[in-house]
Amino acid sequence: MAISGVFVPLITPFKNDEVDFVSYKKMIDFYLTKGIHGFVPLGTTGESPTVNEKEYEAIIEKTMEYTNNAVPVYIGLGGNNTKGLLPKLKIVEKHNVQGILSVSPYYSRPDQRGIYEHFKTISEATDLDIILYNIPYRTGRNIENSTIHKLAELKNIVAIKDACGNFSQTMDLLMNSPKDFSILTGEDAFYYSTLLLGGDGGILASAHIETESFVKIYNDIKSNDQKAALKTWEKLYKFVPMLFAEPNPTPLKYCLYKLGLIESSEVRMPLLEITDELKAKLDKTLNL
């Protein structure tokens, strides 16, 4: 099944340094009414580096309970210890998830051969669908398009979250897409452009806010109404950069707190809550 549409990479709400599952359920219930196409918990937006093993499985369990199979769920599962990820895969496989979102190995900076073998090992260890995640400014290494094409030949590598940061590379991938392979943008500012060039959707932190507008853009472009989509995008385009003016998901959590979707804007170190200056800008722009 092709992966397409607007996917929300869920934040992990915290309260008094515990996962706030009351707020988590409230968020999921809310987004399920907005026409979104799926969820991706436990990614970077979900502050996955600070989530312990017990919390990790509890979040998966609760996600599947709260969504009740209404939309596909892809769990964030990536790292730079290839063999160390395999036991974690077994935890994910215990639950009825559609697949995983797996970031390219970070910090170690393997070459293209190492990146290929890393994902090949994961692919051979599971029947779950795998969405590659290319975000070089976080990982220190780009997944080149030639490597993406090679990986797309593997049975269960079915999509990519493309945040390569180089629109020339993105455009080349879109114009020469591997067969039966979905290209989802992870660069929120490239969302409209990616869809116009035939992209399949996005995994968008910004879609936590003005969710229906992101969905409308997708639906309008798929219905060949680019003018209507552009009109909506002009409104979103102004606030999207503000959500990344300080480290993600700190601005997002502030907005969700002010909107009443979560009970606290708390983040875990090394992240800190946003500055008063950015709070004032977000309050003004989003009428919070």
Decide if 233 is inside a domain: no
Let me know if residue 157 belongs to a domain.
yes
29 part of a folded domain: yes
Contact between 103 and 136 (Cβ < 8 Å): no
Provide the residue count of the chain.
288
Buried b (16+ CB within 10 A) or exposed e, 80-96: bebeebeebbeebeeee
The catalytically annotated residue of 26, 88, 161, 253 is 161
Has 133 been annotated as catalytic? yes
What is the per-residue pLDDT across 222-271, written as a single tens digit (0 to 9) for each?
Answer: 999 999 999 999 999 988 999 999 999 999 999 999 999 999 999 999 99
The sign of the CA dihedral 162, 163, 168, 171 is positive
* pLDDT value at residue 71: 98
In a domain, 263, yes or no: no
pLDDT at residue number 108: 95
**How many independent structural domains does the chain possess?**
1
- Does residue 138 form part of some domain? yes
Q: Is the pLDDT of residue 286 over 90?
A: no
Residue 232 lies in a domain: no
Query: Domain span at residue 200?
Result: 5-223
Backbone Cα Rg of the chain: 18
Instruction: Please pick, among 133, 191, 254, 257, the residue that the annotation labels catalytic.
Output: 133
Question: CA triplet 233, 238, 242: central angle to 5 degrees?
Answer: 125
Has residue 49 been placed in a domain? yes
DSSP states of 124-186? HT--SEEEEEE-HHHHS----HHHHHHHTTSTTEEEEEE--S-HHHHHHHHHTPPTT-EEEE-
Q: Is residue 67 within 8 Å of residue 98, measured between CB atoms? A: no
Q: What is the CATH classification number for the domain harbouring 100?
A: 3.20.20.70
With CA atoms as reference, report the closest residue to 100 among 90, 110, 108. 90
d(CA 209, CA 240): 9
pLDDT tens digits along 56-72: 999 999 999 999 999 99
